[in-house]
Amino acid sequence: MLSTNLSDYNFEFPKELIADRTAGKGKTHILHCPKDGGERKILNAPQIVDLFKPGDCLVVNNTKVIPARLYGETQHGGKIETLLVQALIPAETGEARWVGFVKPGKAFPIGREVTLAGVKATVEEIKEDGERVLRFAITPAELEDVMNAQGHVPLPPYINRPDDDDDKKSYQTIFAKYSGAVAAPTASLHFSEQMLSDLKAKGVHVAEVTLHVGPGTFQNIAVEDFTQHKMHGEFYELTAENAEIINKAKAAGGRIVTVGTTSTRVVETIADDNGHLQAQTGVTHAFIYPGYRYKVVDGLLTNFHWPKSSLILLVSALYGRENTLAAYKMAVENRLKLFSYGDGMLIL
């Protein structure tokens, strides 16, 4: 019987292995983890192209990170930090409305007015998890301009530095098209344009999904029995064209290799019991952990994830707990860089 104890998915690592900066697209290291139990090897990112076969299908997330962190002040001059996570239907007056986290949260009851990036905002509602619904005194289009001009890249909480101009490019993938994420689908950061070109030249298909990554990707699991954990909802979309690319590749015997946990969750949310996909838009709360039987995914390229996280559980569901922890141990021993800006692993 599989353990559902969260503590069984812990691992030790030196803090200096947390990547503060990326090595650059196509310049990271990837730990190849053969699904058949073969020897694990550390490769330079471009070398993973050799592991793919003609007819395989790569599934990537085309979400685009928005400059969602805004700074401001209260009426009395107190400092505020806000992370906007989801746009809502505008008010009847046309004013922009967003769900977001506000620090310090307890200081912002319903009706409190604040100024964020020079724009007046009012707290309309407080949700169960502490998120605030904020109504801004400008239109959505005007707020988008403000965010692009004054918003900050929402780096993960474990990167202990302010964002800068380099992050605007480094924290955006080559697949980014549709704005809406507050965290990058970081497995895609390993790809350079040259790697993508080489894969296509080899006959590898590329399909796109959209999942706007929310703050739930960094949400801690607060219960020891992880099956009791509830995932944040995240918006996803799969078009008919991309569903067909995946379905045809699978029917022809190609391997479906998802890039990142986000792409994985989209296709596994949509797939029927036979692994068939159809166009769909919705909100997924999919929580994949050991014991889950994958319906579509044959391989996974992913980063190394925080101990005891929902993400390491998803990886373990595909590769097994013992294999996953052994791979993490090898990564630490070989001084690979960890987490969002770090190196990765390819289970294939």
Q: Quick: pLDDT tens for 16-50.
A: 999 999 999 999 999 999 999 999 999 999 999 99
pLDDT score, position 183: 94
Distance of CA 37 to the CA centre of its chain: 27
Burial of 141 (0-12, 13-18, 19+ CB in 10 A): exposed
| Range list for CATH 2.40.10.240 in the chain | 69-150
Question: Is the whole-model pTM more than 0.75?
Answer: yes
Q: What is the pLDDT of residue 56?
A: 98
Q: Indicate whether 8 pLDDT > 90.
A: yes
Q: What average pLDDT is seen over the chain?
A: 95
C-alpha span between 2 and 9 (Å, rounded): 12
Express each pLDDT in 324-341 by its tens digit: 999 999 999 999 999 999
Fold held by 6-65+167-347: QueA-like (3.40.1780)
Q: Which of 345, 281, 295 is nearest to 319 (CA)?
A: 345
Q: What is the pLDDT of residues 277-328, one digit of tens each?
A: 999 999 999 999 999 999 999 999 999 999 999 999 999 999 999 999 999 9
Instruction: Give the CATH number of domain 69-150.
Output: 2.40.10.240
The boundaries of every CATH 3.40.1780.10 domain in the chain are 6-65+167-347
Question: Average pLDDT, stretch 52-56?
Answer: 98
Cα separation, 50 vs 67, in Å, equals 36
Residue 202 sits at the vertex; the CA angle it makes with 198 and 203, to the nearest 5 degrees, is 125
Radius of gyration in angstroms for the set of CA atoms belonging to the chain, rounded to a whole number = 21
On the question of pLDDT at 84 being above 90, the answer is yes
pLDDT band at residue 260, thresholds of 50, 70 and 90? Answer: very high
Confidence band of 220 (pLDDT split at 50, 70, 90): confident
